[in-house]
Amino acid sequence: MAVGSAPMQLQLRATIRTKNGLCVPRKWIYHLSDGSTDLRTEGRPDMKTKLFSSACPGGIMLKETGQGYQRFLLYNRSPHPPEKCVEEFQSLTSCLDFKAFLLTPRNQDACELSSN
């Protein structure tokens, strides 16, 4: 996560492993709004994103809300984040009344984050 190229913007870069095992670079631009903690995703006017603070190294916790869905996401550079990170995430989601918890299997190393 970094400051965007314009005021009131944040840029999130990631390299995501797809189902076929390839690593694909992705970039999201979030717009900040005065008086709101919601981030608006560029190109997705129906989606709101909230970032949550975390003591988890190499990780980010967020909540996405769009048309007809809400989800909490924990992203981490490690395929197997420390248990305390998972517990912190589960505690946050439980406090916000989310009961289902899905842990996707990680069978490969994390993708390298590209420099551009």
Dihedral sign, CA of 73, 74, 77, 81?
A: negative
- Give me the helices (H) in the chain, please: 83-95
Question: Residue 37 CA to chain centroid, in angstroms?
Answer: 15
Does the 9-96 domain belong in CATH 2.40.128.20?
Answer: yes
Q: How far apart are the first and last CA of the chain?
A: 13
The pTM for the full model equals 0.71
Q: Each residue of 41-95: pLDDT tens digit?
A: 899 888 999 888 788 888 888 899 988 998 888 888 777 788 898 888 888 888 8
Distance CA 100, CA 47 (A): 21
Q: Each residue of 2-28: pLDDT tens digit?
A: 666 777 888 888 888 888 889 999 988
Nearest C-alpha neighbor of 27 from the set 41, 42, 12: 12
